[in-house]
C-alpha cells in the first residue's frame, strides 16, 4: 500500500508521497512514488503513483520511451493538463489490457491510480486524479486536495485545515502531517517521504525534500503534533451527562 496527496492552492501546488510497498508482512520494500517530469522554464509536471507496482512502473516506462523517442504525443508535447491526464490514462488502459488476463488468472490485483499536478503555459496550476480505468477528476477551489492509496488516516487534518487560500508553506506542513498520521496508524505506509512544492507561474520546481526514517525534522513534527493533540484533547470540556434518578431495569435474555 502507499499514500500520496496532492494539494492545489491559489499560489501553487504541494505533492507528497511515502515510499513503502509490501507484498505481505514479511516482504516490505521502498520504491519512489513521486516523479518530476518538468521542463524547467516551460512546464511543470509532477506524478505520484499508487497500486500494482508492475503496472505503474510499466506506465512510467512507456511515458519515458515516448519522451526519449520524441513521439508525436508525449508529456512535453501536449498543450493542456487535461490532455496530459487523458494521455496518461490511455497508457494505464493499454498496460492493463496487456497484463490483465495473466494477473486475473492468478487473482492478482492490477488496479492503480496516478496523481498528476503541474502547470502548462496559458493555464493555471491544475491537479488531477487518474483512475485505473483511465478517466480522471480534477481538484477544485472547493475540494483542493486529492489522495491515492491509504487515504483515510490522513484525510481529517486536510479537511479541517486546508482551503484554496492557505499559504503554500502551511500547505506543505499539512501534507507532511497527513502522511505522518497515516504512517502512525498503518504500517503499510512508511518513509522515505518525498515532498515537492511548486509556486504558481514559476514553471520550475525549486522546493523539494526527502525525509528518511530518523530524520530530525520528521521526528520533531511528530512529537509536537502528538503533544498539541493531547493538549487540545485535555482542553475539551467534559461531557454534561443527563442525570436520571430512577434508572429502568435492564433485562438480558
Taking all residues of the chain, what is their mean pLDDT, rounded to a whole number?
91
Distance CA 227, CA 230 (A): 5
Q: What order do you get walking across the sheet with 34-36 strand by strand?
A: 34-36, 44-51, 112-119, 126-130, 136-138
Distance CA 63, CA 50 (A): 16
pLDDT, tens only, 94-111: 999 888 788 777 777 778
Does residue 146 form part of some domain? yes
Helix-then-strand count for the chain, H and E: 5, 12
If you search the block for the grid coordinates 520494500, which residue do you land on? 29
Does residue 241 form part of some domain? no
For 47, the domain range is 3-235
Task: Give me the CATH number covering residue 224.
Answer: 3.60.20.10
Long-range CB contacts (< 8 A, 24+ apart) of 108-111?
108/52, 109/51, 109/52, 110/52, 110/55, 111/51, 111/52
pLDDT score, position 118 = 98
Does residue 253 form part of some domain? no
Residue 201 has pLDDT above 90, yes or no: yes
Dihedral sign, CA of 161, 144, 155, 36?
negative
Does residue 213 form part of some domain? yes
pLDDT score, position 137 = 97
Does residue 217 form part of some domain? yes
pTM: 0.89
Backbone angles phi, psi at 204, to 5 degrees: -140, 135
Burial (0-12, 13-18, 19+ Cβ within 10 Å), 36: middle
- Residue 6's DSSP bridge partners are 15, 146
The DSSP code sequence of 133-144 is: TS-EEE--SSS-
| Number of domains the chain contains | 1
Does residue 250 form part of some domain? no
pLDDT, tens only, 49-76: 998 888 999 999 999 999 999 999 999 9
Does residue 21 form part of some domain? yes
CB neighbourhood size of 129 (10 A): 22
The SS3 call for residue 226 is helix
Amino acid at each position: 500500500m502507499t499514500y500520496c496527496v496532492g494539494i492545489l492552492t491559489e499560489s501553487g501546488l504541494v505533492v507528497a508521497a511515502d515510499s513503502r510497498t509490501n507484498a505481505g508482512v514479511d516482504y516490505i520494500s521502498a520504491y519512489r512514488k513521486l516523479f518530476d517530469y518538468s521542463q524547467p522554464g516551460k512546464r511543470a509536471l509532477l506524478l505520484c503513483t499508487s497500486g500494482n507496482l508492475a503496472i505503474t512502473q510499466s506506465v512510467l516506462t512507456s511515458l519515458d520511451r515516448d519522451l526519449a523517442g520524441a513521439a508525436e504525443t508525449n508529456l512535453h508535447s501536449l498543450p493542456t493538463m487535461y490532455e496530459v491526464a487523458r494521455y496518461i490514462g490511455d497508457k494505464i488502459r493499454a498496460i492493463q489490457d496487456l497484463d490483465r488476463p495473466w494477473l486475473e488468472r492468478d487473482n492478482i490485483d492490477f488496479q492503480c491510480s496516478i496523481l498528476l499536478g503541474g502547470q502548462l503555459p496559458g493555464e493555471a496550476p491544475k491537479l488531477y486524479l487518474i483512475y485505473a480505468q483511465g478517466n480522471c477528476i480534477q481538484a477544485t477551489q472547493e475540494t483542493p486536495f486529492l489522495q491515492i492509496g491509504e487515504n483515510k488516516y490522513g484525510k481529517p487534518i486536510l479537511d479541517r485545515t486546508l482551503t484554496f487560500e492557505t499559504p503554500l508553506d502551511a500547505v506543505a506542513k499539512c501534507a507532511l502531517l497527513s502522511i505522518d498520521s497515516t504512517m502512525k496508524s498503518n504500517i503499510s505506509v512508511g518513509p522515505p517521504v518525498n515532498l515537492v512544492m511548486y509556486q504558481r507561474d514559476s514553471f520550475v520546481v525549486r522546493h523539494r525534500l526527502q525525509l528518511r526514517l530518523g530524520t530530525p525534522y520528521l521526528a520533531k513534527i511528530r512529537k509536537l503534533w502528538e503533544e498539541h493533540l493531547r493538549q487540545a484533547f485535555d482542553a475539551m470540556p467534559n461531557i454534561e451527562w443527563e442525570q436520571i434518578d430512577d434508572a429502568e431495569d435492564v433485562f438480558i435474555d
